[in-house]
Structure 1
């Protein structure tokens, strides 16, 4: 009796490759296609990532913003002051403006806190009677020194540098990193 050979590549790998150890043309083309696709993806991704990360890596100098004369801040009070980003772009509009809480601790000693909660960035308000900063979004509460009292904030309120120069209370700010895709 004549038995027919019915071997398939699944049953016998030698049938799939006439020369063991060599890739088929299909395997080779697949590897070349994947390699070229990877190179194309990298060619697109590198400039995009660079444009997004570069502003964060720039070391911009601190800029001092005048926020008022020392006599505008009675000792023991906490006051909201507003100022503009140190390096605003023409199109920035309202986003170029920011604020800080300034407290006059003692004669000539000031402290300044960010207005943004460290949980999700909501603006905190100063409650003078309770002597607490309170975040209305998720119940974050900070003591008068900016440390966390309760709620979800993971860390204290950020502080700004403060000095008195040229008869003004000044807050030290750095430009907010904004990605510049063009000069406009």
Structure 2
């Protein structure tokens, strides 16, 4: 409800008397509602801005990580750590001179696998059992049993290769005599070049337990 201005207020041109009451706005709290509405709008704007910043930050992090990974892939050393080395050629390993090996004697020779990756450590070392059969001929066997890959030993008195892990036994030609191995010892290629005996190493297939 709106009250009328007093007579004095009208005569004095609004300088004296009671001014007319302001019309009711329907908001008992005066401008508090406006402040509340304004405050709510501010909260909404703040929340929207926070979400926007969060999305941009996550997007930036994702792009940054992708760029970092691409950079690592472009560094030769880092790339080598996460890649499988390609073997494009056969590599022969010199294990000694011909005169170092008596005829019909089986000896263990060791060599460093130059094809191994830089972090191989002791695993880069390889070995074989080598026998000189005549003046210029040799045969060689992988030192690893074909059962599960344990190194075999040579028993000269019995002319047998013995695996200490599961009792595998091989004759002097590498053929299975007893125990769980299913395959003979792996034959390695041997050659004589410029007086040096060279061995071409190869992976050893393992077969696991012999089926019953």
TM-score bracket, normalised by the shorter chain, equals 0.5 to 0.7
Partner of residue 170, structure 1 = 198
Partners of 1:121 and 1:85 in 2: CA distance: 17
- Mapping of residues 135-154 of structure 1, within 5 Å: 135-154=163-182
Q: Pick from 102, 105, 117 the counterpart of residue 77 of structure 1.
A: 105
Q: CA deviation at 1:69?
A: 0.7
Partners of 2:114 and 2:131 in 1: CA distance: 22
Partner of residue 141, structure 2 = 113
140 and 109 in structure 1: CA distance in 2 versus 1, 3 angstrom threshold: same
Q: Pick from 93, 102, 120 the counterpart of residue 65 of structure 1.
A: 93
Q: Is the 8 A contact 2:87 2:115 kept in 1?
A: no
Partner of residue 158, structure 2 = 130
Long gaps (5+) in structure 2: 1-82, 205-212
1:137 alignment partner, SS class: coil
Q: Is the 8 A contact 2:102 2:132 kept in 1?
A: yes
Q: CA deviation at 1:129?
A: 0.5
Which of structures 1 and 2 has the larger relative contact order (alpha carbons within 8 angstroms, sep 6+)?
1
Partners of 1:59 and 1:99 in 2: CA distance: 20
- Mapping of residues 99-110 of structure 1, within 5 Å: 99-110=127-138
Partners of 1:175 and 1:132 in 2: CA distance: 22
Q: Is the 8 A contact 2:96 2:196 kept in 1?
A: yes
2:133 alignment partner, SS class: strand
2:107 alignment partner, SS class: strand
Partners of 1:86 and 1:99 in 2: CA distance: 13
Which structure has the highest helix share of the two? 2
Q: CA deviation at 1:175?
A: 8.0
1:94 alignment partner, SS class: helix
Partners of 2:196 and 2:100 in 1: CA distance: 10
- Cα RMSD (Å) of the superposition? 2.0
Which structure has the highest strand share of the two? 1
**TM-score, length of structure 2 as denominator length:** 0.54
How many residues align structurally? 122
Partners of 2:87 and 2:161 in 1: CA distance: 31
Partners of 2:177 and 2:171 in 1: CA distance: 6
Q: CA deviation at 1:106?
A: 1.5
Partners of 1:77 and 1:55 in 2: CA distance: 38
**TM-score, length of structure 1 as denominator length:** 0.62
Long gaps (5+) in structure 1: 1-53, 177-184
147 and 174 in structure 1: CA distance in 2 versus 1, 3 angstrom threshold: closer
